[in-house]
Amino acid sequence: MKTLEDFNFKDKKALIRVDFNVPLDTEFNVTDTSRIEAARPTVLKVLEDGGSAVLMSHMGRPKGQRNEDMSLKHICNTVSDVIGVQVKFVEDCVGEKVEEAVANLQSGEILLLENLRFYNEETNGDKDFAKQLSNFGDIYINDAFGTAHRAHASTTVVAQFFAENKCFGYLLAKEIKAIEKVMATGEKPVTAILGGAKVSSKITIIENILDKVDHLIIGGGMTYTFVKAKGGKVGNSICEDDKMELALDILKQAQAKGVEVHIPVDVVAADDFNNNANTQTVAVDQIPDGWQGLDAGPATLAHFKEVILKSKTILWNGPVGVFEMESFAHGTIAIGHAIDEATQSGAFSLVGGGDSVAAVKQFGFEDKVSYVSTGGGAMLESLEGKTLPGIAAILG
């Protein structure tokens, strides 16, 4: 696996695929700079060696149309502030204007190209478009884990024009190592905490990780499909009736593989899906009609904590309650505290997947776990056992 340490960038131009698909407010201010901060070490390594950096990224889904609201010009000053070097910007990502800007780039300078997705050729993985991009660097670096599961021109196709001169950036290398630690090299016992609303969205992950984990904690809306499948009463809780057979099959597979599955025993149920609803704590299989389970209950959380504290490797993907509502955030916060405690005691903890990352940021656990993944879809596909095209392109 080639990384930045395999190259000296003195007098070289590095073409770096970053993921600067960051949120903006109505005034076009960046509201979360974490993706820019994550790319900083890679860019600085190139500059400190005496090279220059050409950064390319997408933002949003402009669908091949130039859209001023999604122009990367809005983030240029923020990128400059985060990296600590004034970033130049060019209002296109291919063509004469870009060729000129790249030709004039001096060692120690950074050039940010316009939104790649202003061209359909980017998402179509167009070879000619990728060839044009490849002319802007001597060495290609992919540091965009968030798009590594897409076979786009800038993430995958461009790599074929660099033969040996391509590598992973620091961020992407860290992502690969973190997933490997959970899926292959992690110290046992390994525990996966899977939450979220639907079993259907997690089936392939569950099936892929059953060979790798010792404990599987099921939480969130998925719980009720398992509980109903086992004959329990789930009231008005979210439930995929057509996935009940599958839930039972997962439990059988887990048993055959010696994996302990932990399902909530009690829940905080509400008489309406809102923060001010009436609530009661009930057994998970005795939820009254008209009520729905919206958070894990105290006995469940005590048991989950016990399992987490015995673990040496922990994967957390998905909240265990409707954490967006304060009344039902307690369970997700409690899981965060338990993982924090296990991590302080030497466990390796990886948090990945949109909602769990959002929860970790919201409740201040970002620095209390070993690693927070920057890629939602890419992370999930890695856990499903898929080889991501953006990673395969560098290894190939």
Binding residues for (2R)-3-phosphoglycerate: 35, 117, 150
Q: Which residue has the tokens 């009661």?
A: 280
Q: How far is it, in rounded angstroms, from Cα 226 to Cα 57? A: 41
Binding residues for substrate: 19-21, 35, 58-61, 117, 150
Q: How far is it, in rounded angstroms, from Cα 384 to Cα 111? A: 36
Determine which one of 13, 35, 45, 212 is catalytic.
Answer: 35
Q: Around Cβ 196, how many Cβ atoms within 10 Å?
A: 20
Please answer whether residues 277 and 235 qualify as being in contact, where contact means their C-beta atoms are separated by less than 8 angstroms: no
Orientation of helix 298-309 relative to helix 330-344, angle to 10°: 20
Checking phi first, is residue 80 left (phi over 0); if not, alpha (psi -120 to 50) or beta? alpha
Determine which one of 64, 108, 232, 377 is catalytic.
Answer: 377
Alpha helices in the chain (DSSP H): 34-49, 76-83, 96-103, 120-123, 127-134, 170-180, 203-209, 222-229, 244-256, 298-309, 330-344, 354-362, 376-383, 389-395
**In the annotation, is 235 catalytic?**
no
Binding residues for ATP: 202, 293, 324, 353-356
Return the ∠ at Cα 40 (arms to 39 and 44), rounded to 5°.
125
Q: Which residues contact 117 (CB under 8 A, 6 or more apart)?
A: 58, 59, 60, 61, 62, 63, 64, 70, 123
Checking phi first, is residue 56 left (phi over 0); if not, alpha (psi -120 to 50) or beta? beta
Position 13: which residue type? K
Binding residues: 19-21, 35, 58-61, 117, 150, 202, 293, 324, 353-356
DSSP assignments along 37-97, one per residue: HHHHHHHHHHHHHT-EEEEE---S--TTS--GGG-GGGGHHHHHHHHTSPEEE-S-SSSHH
Give the containing element (helix H, strand E) for 214: none
**In the annotation, is 354 catalytic?**
yes
Q: Which residue has the tokens 């599958």?
A: 246
Please answer whether residues 122 and 70 qualify as being in contact, where contact means their C-beta atoms are separated by less than 8 angstroms: no
Determine which one of 73, 198, 230, 386 is catalytic.
Answer: 198
Determine which one of 73, 354, 385, 386 is catalytic.
Answer: 354
Q: What is each CA distance from 372 to 121, 341, 383, in whole angstroms?
A: 31, 16, 14
**In the annotation, is 17 catalytic?**
no
Active site residues: 35, 198, 354, 377
